[in-house]
Each structure stands twice: as structure tokens, then as C-alpha cells.
Amino acid sequence: MMAELRYNPLLDDWTMVAAARQKRPNMPKDTCPFCPGSGKVPDHYDVHLYHNDFPVLSPNPPEPDDVGGSLYQTKEAKGKCEVVLYSPDHNATVPDLSRDHMSKLFELWTDTFANLEKDPEHKYIMIFENRGEEVGVTMPHPHGQIYAYPFVPLKIRTELANTKAYYEKHQRNMFDDIIAEEKKFGKRVIMENDSFLAFIPFFTDYPFGVHIVSKEEKLAITEFTDEEKQALGDMLQQIVGGMDCIYDRLFPYMMTMHQRPSNSGDVSDYYRFHIEFYPPLRDKNKIKYNASSETGGWAAANPTRVEETANMLRKAMKKFEQEG
């Protein structure tokens, strides 16, 4: 079965090809493989690391098919794809977890990140979550994923290049200046604590595209203290809980943790740990689609003023806190 990386010379990037993923099942109506008692997971767990049944990357991938050429390169799809089960409760999501439970989730994220980057062939480790059918989720049991890539994804490389150029020009970390700018303006700030600032950025292309940035010079989840992890966990629960209160429905989103590359050079002068949300809703039952301009040209377009959506989210977070 085909599983390989194919080089895109137009973008200097790799496309992951995994034909087996076509066979991924939708969630059965009467059973769930991630629920205790299924035989696929422990009968008792709080959080659990599950090896992806349909990985796009694997530790021992097959040889690439003989389909390339001098310009068209292929290489093994070597890496790891893990599934992180948040809870044995089929209906629990991030806002429903206790503080102690969130701590266990953070420890699993941290330990898995540390273990995956021990492999020198793992160049970037991304912790992420897809939530809701609107973003293609086929298994609604609460879970996220962790991918260990054999390359640094293009978006991360773009961030690294731009923040490095900014540092070389100004001798300042761009993330410090973003934090200062957002705090000065204020209207886009969602939440703040001693360690993190959450805001809907001036430049985001998603109506509720929240960013969470570390105030300290931290580059990866493995660098956070227990107190910082707790502060970040509280913030994630408040923000996601608030999103659910905006339209009184489960709010779909994609969420990614942007961290330093693994097994490469030092980026501490100019990069910073941050989380980005990509929630596709622009109204209760309306989706913000990335159509031709956004997809073909990467020309971002936002149908809303984020100063207004930030205010909506702040109000919804207050509602969540009062009801919680």
C-alpha cells in the first residue's frame, strides 16, 4: 500500500501520501473503539496514548513507489502518528475535564513530545486537535493527535524565517512586540495570566482565530513548569468553553501548538511557543470556507472584524464561567 513523501519543487515542501487512509471508518453508531470495554483501549484510563491505526507517517515505512524522476523526488514517510485520548467519557471535551485531569493530559503531551524527539530523524513534532465534523473528524470521542515529521512543515519554516529576519533587523523577538501591540490596543485580548496572553490577532483570517502566546522565552511544552502548564490548561478550558457558549453548540476548530523544531539549531532568540486556533464557523450554522483565492493563492480573507468577534468571545467566556 502506497505510503511515501513526495517533494513539491514549487514550494520546497513535502506532500505526505498515505493511500490506506482512504479506508478510515466513520464512527459506528452503536460502538466506539476509544471507549473502555471496546478491547482497543484499557478498561480503565484517564488519558491514553493510542497508536494511530491509519498513520500517514510510521517508524518503518515501505519503500516509496518507483514513480519519481530527477525533479520529482520521493522518500520514505518515516515518522510517527499518535492519538491522544483525553478522557474515557465519550462526551467529555476539554472544558469538561477537571483541573487534575488537565494536568494528566499535559503530562502525556509533554512526555510524548520528549520521547518522540529522541529520534534524530524526527525534525518537527506537532501537537494538535481537530474538533467537530466540520473539520473532518470521523471519531467524535475526545482526542487530539501528535505527529512527528521527518521535515519541518512549510508554515513553521515560514514563521521561523520571518521571525528570524525581524530579530536581525530590530534585535527584538517579534512575539514580544506582538504581545505589546495587542495589550496596548486591548480590544482583541481575550484572556491574560502571568504566563500567557490569549487574543484574536489583528491579522488572523478566521473570525475566532485565537492565538495563545507564552510571555516567557519558552519554545516547547517540555520547558514549562507545572504552574505554567496549569495556567495554560485553565486558559484552554476557558477559551474552548467560551467558544461553545457563543452559539450554544459544540464549536468546531483546529488547534495546533507551534513549537521549536527538533534536532536542529537554536531558535530561542526569535521564536516562541504559541497555540493557534482555526475555528471555521462565521455564524451559528455558516462555515468560512477557504475557496480559490485562499487555497490557490494563500490570499487570506476574513469576513469579520476581529475586534467584534473578540468581544463576542469575551462575553461568551463570562457566560461559561458563570454557568460552570
Q: Which position has the grid cell 453548540?
A: 249
Cβ(188)–Cβ(200) under 8 Å? yes
DSSP code per residue over 96-108: GS-HHHHHHHHHH
C-alpha separations of 195 from 127, 191, 235, 271 in Å: 20, 11, 10, 16
Rounded CA separation 131/249 (Å): 12
The answer to whether 101 is a known catalytic residue is no
Rounded CA Rg of the chain: 20
Catalytic residue among 143, 211, 258, 274: 143
**Nearby residues of 127 by Cβ (< 8 Å), 6 or more positions away:** 84, 109, 113, 144, 145, 146, 221, 256, 257, 259
76 has which bridge partners?
A: 4
Positions annotated as catalytic residues are 143
